[in-house]
Structure 1
Amino acid sequence: MPCCTDRLVLHTIDGAADLLIEELRAMSSVHSIRQLSAETVECAVDGPLDELVACALYFTITGSGKAPLSWMRRFGPLERLPWSTNPVVAEVLVRLAKIRPEHRVVDPFCGTGTILLAVRRRAPAAQIIGTDHDPRGIEIAARNWGQELAQAEAEALPFKGGSVDRVVTNLPFGKQVGSHALNRALYPAVLSELDRVLTPPGRAVLLTEDKRLLHDAVQRHRRLKIVRQRLLKYNGATPTAYVLTRPR
């Protein structure tokens, strides 16, 4: 990877800048980091670009009049559907999940596989499994992912009880997939299934804009609790990522 001496601006999403700054601070060739706006971070680079290029928490880099270094140029094209998870959002969800190499990680609404790929970038040694009820999404995800995936309902996952360490997923929230009316039955059923498959110290990271419905479902369920939440803003969407664990 070539070296560079320049001041660069990295473009991310509103809600991810602090995570991006944290990763930049750990890079040996990056310094003088500052947040310019909710969606942009400036830094100086003096040395190899390997770590900066490998970071997946931003879309593009601009600086010194050169062509922007974009997500597609760094990670290649992905087949997508209109409701596919935003790639940087997927990276945020994966970081909130705190995945370790020995973990078994499941996305039960995997769609075209964006979150699965983010997990693989972050924790390549983890056992990563995607399921979805939509055969079209599964077909595209298999091409993006490079292997077959299982078609299954999120309310009836094909896993033994207590066998999953992490669940990371983008729930249907009625903008392009599903509806609020359907979610009234779906969300409680999904929480019950997550309660069944998660290990005792397990963790779930769920993204939704149907926020009140999820809060109410968690409150009624009682065997899982929300321990953290992060608002994300991009392309007119304002979903929140919820981190769920078991009450002590």
Structure 2
Amino acid sequence: AGEGAAQEGAAEEPAAVIGATVPTGFEVTAAAEVQEKLGSAPRISKDRGKIYFEVPARCLPEVHRLRSVDNLFVVVQEFRDYQFKETKEDALKDLEDLVKKLPWTDPLKVWELNNSLKKKKTKRKKHNLQSTASKEKVTDDGEEKRADQTDAGGQEDCAPNAAGAEPAASQDTEGTQEESQNDDNERSEAKEELHAASSGAESKAGDDKKGEGDAQVLKFRVTCSRAGDKHSFTSNEAARDFGGAVQEHFQWKADMTNFDVEVLLNIHNNEVVVGIALTEESLHRRNITHFGPTTLRSTLAYGMLRLCDPQPTDIIVDPMCGTGAIPIEGAMEWPSCFHIAGDNNPQAVKRAANNICSLLKKNENKESSSSSGIPLDILQWDICSLPLRTGSVDVIVTDMPFGKRIGSKKKNWDLYPACLMEMGRICTPGTGRAALLTQDKKCFAKALSRMGHIWRKSQTVWVNVGGLHAAVYLLKRTWERAEEKRSFW
């Protein structure tokens, strides 16, 4: 009887179709991550920068841990070939009528489950912070003094500590054991929440429809994004009329700033997707606390690293690290590699060191975390004369100066060839690879044509970086040996 009940419960569990926005150009990379980590075959949308995949609702915690996605939403319904009426009035009336026909029940269950998981996460964070604060109070004066000294040491002390004293292998196995335990706990929590949410969402949606309402009426807003030139209406008009129909259907209260539910209406030519947002802010903000003038999004950093297919024991270098977005992302996702970051700007090195320190503190606050340190180190250096042995690096991943906010396009003509030459020297002949991001494509192409004996271009990914049309070049190191350089160290 117990087995039958369990099977019945599993059958009732809604399968959520999740939509994810990803950095434009990295849709294939994001799809590969979803396939690898969730075992779900994703579909890449015609609308660039979006992928869709189906998962059981209990897998929501794992979905939020994906490294390549910016924002997440649960799909209410998708229309691959929606026929819009010709006149504006008819087209908008059609969108209004659509609200009543949409299958809201399961997506609302998923939204409610997502909400309860977010609340639990915040409670856990608060509890961890309180427990660490109380631990600090309990310790004697000597230990407090030691803590003060490390704080005062600030940037200089934190960066070397980041490398971690423990051997990478033991740290790695501990980490994976803890992670799998956390995954199981979160998944079972999600299952419990799901049963509560399913009854709650149904009754809430039902009450709202009847107009009886709960004591607490949900606040909502509709966000419409529209692309294509064959529509007779604007995105604001679509959001206004669709939102009016949603309000009438659920008896929710419209609120543009303090909303509980964000309903998404995505229109791309004839493709229409209605969804409910699962993230309040982009997941790419996960690692960085000290931002610089050109901080790279973590999701883009992940995409670049994944292009290089890092293998265990690889040495991965970012010679122009800025605030450290790439090496930090690399150390979090590929802990069995060793990551070295550097920059010639002392301010950038300080910011990167602070970001590493923040990450270490965050790791300490996790109850189950027993491993100390991350496989990453940072130092100040000159990109044209790196203090690294010839042929000692497996992978180079960096965001090169665009010549817009930092540097100038004129300087790039000297900088790029010198960079490629020095990177070629430190990279392992035959197996070394590099993923380099730049917007100054003309200058890069010219520099690369001069370095054909050292670097071969194997792939170009066109990306959008803060509205700028940029490219990520995946290069492979040729077998030609570089000239040995006498070290000053």
TM-score (norm 2): 0.47
Matched, 1:92 2:323: no
CA spacing shift, 1:123–1:245, aligned 2, 3 Å: same
Residue 40 of structure 1 corresponds to 50
Q: 2:458 aligns with which of 216, 227, 238?
A: 227
Matched, 1:197 2:396: no
Distance 1:18 1:221 in 2: 29
CA spacing shift, 1:132–1:234, aligned 2, 3 Å: closer
CA spacing shift, 1:134–1:220, aligned 2, 3 Å: same
Residue 12 of structure 1 corresponds to 22
Aligned-pair Cα RMSD in Å: 2.3
> Cα deviation per residue 1:177-220 (whole Å; 9 max; x = unaligned)?
11111011101111110111111121111110111211111111
CA spacing shift, 1:76–1:96, aligned 2, 3 Å: closer
Answer whether contact 2:301 2:326 (CA < 8 A) is retained: yes
Answer whether contact 2:322 2:348 (CA < 8 A) is retained: yes
Answer whether contact 1:53 1:74 (CA < 8 A) is retained: no
Residue 149 of structure 1 corresponds to 378
CA spacing shift, 1:27–1:150, aligned 2, 3 Å: closer
Answer whether contact 2:26 2:461 (CA < 8 A) is retained: no
Answer whether contact 1:207 1:240 (CA < 8 A) is retained: yes
Answer whether contact 1:54 1:74 (CA < 8 A) is retained: no
Count the aligned residue pairs: 246
Q: Which has the higher helix share?
A: 2
Matched, 1:244 2:475: yes
Answer whether contact 2:21 2:70 (CA < 8 A) is retained: yes
Worse overlay, 196-205 or 49-58: 49-58
Matched, 1:68 2:278: yes
For residue 320 of structure 2, give the secondary structure of its aligned residue in structure 1.
Answer: coil
Answer whether contact 1:12 1:88 (CA < 8 A) is retained: yes
Matched, 1:23 2:29: no
Distance 1:95 1:113 in 2: 17
Answer whether contact 1:154 1:193 (CA < 8 A) is retained: yes
Distance 2:406 2:395 in 1: 23
Note the C-alpha offset of 1:148.
6.0
Answer whether contact 1:94 1:122 (CA < 8 A) is retained: no
For residue 131 of structure 1, give the secondary structure of its aligned residue in structure 2.
Answer: strand
Note the C-alpha offset of 1:25.
2.3
Structure 2 unmatched ranges of 5 or more:
1-12, 75-106, 112-276, 358-375, 480-489
Amino acid at match of 1:192: M
Based on CA coordinates, which of the two structures has the bigger radius of gyration?
2
Amino acid at match of 2:50: T
Residue 137 of structure 1 corresponds to 348
Amino acid at match of 1:170: D
TM-score (norm 1): 0.90
Worse overlay, 173-182 or 67-76: 67-76
Distance 2:450 2:296 in 1: 28
Q: 1:208 aligns with which of 438, 443, 446?
A: 438
Q: Which has the higher strand share?
A: 1
Structure 1 unmatched ranges of 5 or more:
none
Distance 1:114 1:121 in 2: 11
